[in-house]
């Protein structure tokens, strides 16, 4: 099928988030493809990362609007995992499921509608360039544009049973920088203020904030400090991640983090906190569940749904009050590894699903 040729083309272009040239090359290919479908193209140029691309169909100002959301970037630096391959069942390569494959699903469904001579109205597409690194730049653009839309479908990978995603945890990444005072560990031990020791106390207090029953986890993923065995450590740092399922837990943990940072377990040490919530929680809402039921009626099929601990840009759009469902891409696994793959037959079913939904939305201007 020709869309697998398109997938091969973009997979074999390295689009590691920091590889601006590669990300932009993929974006330019999508520009060409969407231009052929009569979409207006807005490119948000960036100097250090790839540009973000917004494809705009013809709008009826009185109708509801649907945003299709994806990202152009992948996680592997150049020459690490740049090849595409396939067999009878699977396609393999960086981004085949996360999420160049998802972008191709959305594109192909729109192509088939266009080829059926149906004018595409009120369905726009946003492809950002930095999702894999946390959307630190694009989240502001996504939040701004999201306010123009009533619904959003995100084309991250489907679940194993082709589930769509109704909820995702929120996530924040934080850094604690600890300053102590160096001293000779033999001659002047008592003159030092041990930053490493302070870090160890803080680490233990931080991980106590995890509450698995409520879906809250705090992971200290990296700890560094000190100079050598014969020196009381003058500095240390902790890097940790918070994930949570509801706003109350977010508030509880953030308040506790501040207390831990501001309290010195080792006299003479001073700590400073950096970081923030990257993507707030995407809650399974009554509106999103109603939309799943509506999709079942439109497609005359059963649609399974799930919540995930991982995050995506669906979190951002959902936080803006837009009715959002994720997981409209193909099913795959091994994402973020050299074993990433996507199931061929899931492309066909996902394209058919999207095509039915787009046809309905264009005719009805609503779900």
Report percent pLDDT > 90 for the chain: 97
Q: Quick one: average pLDDT of 89-96?
A: 97
pLDDT of 12 reads 97
Mind listing the pLDDT tens digit for each residue in 69-88? Answer: 999 999 999 999 999 999 99
Angle among Cα 73, 76, 77 to the nearest 5 degrees reads 100
pLDDT of 1 reads 62
Question: How many Cβ atoms are within 10 Å of 263's Cβ, its own excluded?
Answer: 12
d(CA 324, CA 322): 6
pLDDT at 113 over 80: yes
pLDDT of 160 reads 94
Mean of all residue pLDDT scores within the chain: 96
pLDDT at 186 over 80: yes
Question: What is the set of domains in the chain, with CATH numbers?
Answer: 2-169+282-364 (3.40.630.10), 170-279 (3.30.70.360)
Which conformational region is residue 113 in: left (phi greater than 0), alpha (psi within -120 to 50 degrees), or beta?
alpha
Question: 344-364 and 2-11 are packed helices; what angle lies between their axes, rounded to 10 degrees?
Answer: 110
Q: Quick one: average pLDDT of 224-230?
A: 97
pLDDT of 61 reads 81
**pTM of the complete model:** 0.91
pLDDT of 62 reads 85
Report percent pLDDT > 70 for the chain: 100
Residue 13 vs residues 6, 73, 220, 276, 297: alpha-carbon distances, Å: 11, 10, 34, 32, 39
pLDDT at 227 over 90: yes
Q: Quick one: average pLDDT of 155-168?
A: 97
pLDDT of 73 reads 97
pLDDT of 84 reads 96
What's the token pair of residue 75?
A: 């996680």
pLDDT of 86 reads 95
Helix (H, G, I), strand (E, B) or coil at 124: strand
Mind listing the pLDDT tens digit for each residue in 25-80? Answer: 999 999 999 999 999 999 999 999 999 999 999 998 889 999 999 999 999 999 99
């Amino acid at each position: 099928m020709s869309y697998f040729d398109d997938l091969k083309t973009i997979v074999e272009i390295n689009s590691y988030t920091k590889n601006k040239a590669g990300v932009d090359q993929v974006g330019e290919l999508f520009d060409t493809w969407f231009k052929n479908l009569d979409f207006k193209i807005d490119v948000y140029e960036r100097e250090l990362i790839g540009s973000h691309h917004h494809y705009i169909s013809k709008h009826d100002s009185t109708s509801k609007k649907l945003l299709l959301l994806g990202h152009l970037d992948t996680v592997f630096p150049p020459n690490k995992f740049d090849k595409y391959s396939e067999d009878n069942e699977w396609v393999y390569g960086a981004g085949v499921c996360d999420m160049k494959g998802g972008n191709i699903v959305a594109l192909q469904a729109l192509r088939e509608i266009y080829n059926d001579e149906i004018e595409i109205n009120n369905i726009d597409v946003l492809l950002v360039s930095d999702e894999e690194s946390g959307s630190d730049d694009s989240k502001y653009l996504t939040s701004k544009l999201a306010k123009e839309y009533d619904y959003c479908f995100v084309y991250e990978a489907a679940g194993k049973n082709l589930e769509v995603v109704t909820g995702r945890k929120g996530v924040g990444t934080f850094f604690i920088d600890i300053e102590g005072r160096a001293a000779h560990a033999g001659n002047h031990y008592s003159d030092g203020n041990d930053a490493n020791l302070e870090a160890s106390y803080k680490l233990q207090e931080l991980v106590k904030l995890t509450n698995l029953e409520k879906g809250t986890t705090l992971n200290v993923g990296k700890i560094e400090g000190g100079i050598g065995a014969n020196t009381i450590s003058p500095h240390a740092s902790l890097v940790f991640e918070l994930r949570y399922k509801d706003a109350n837990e977010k508030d509880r943990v953030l308040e506790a983090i501040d207390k831990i940072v501001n309290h010195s377990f080792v006299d003479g040490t001073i700590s400073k906190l950096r970081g923030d919530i990257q993507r707030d929680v995407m809650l399974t809402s009554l509106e999103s569940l109603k939309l799943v039921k509506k999709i079942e009626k439109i497609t005359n099929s059963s649609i399974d749904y799930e919540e995930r601990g991982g995050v995506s840009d669906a979190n951002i759009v959902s936080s803006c009050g837009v009715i959002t469902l994720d997981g409209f891409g193909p099913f795959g696994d091994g994402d973020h590894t050299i074993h990433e793959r996507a199931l061929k037959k899931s492309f066909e079913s996902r394209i058919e699903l999207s095509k039915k939904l787009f046809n309905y939305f264009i005719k009805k201007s609503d779900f």
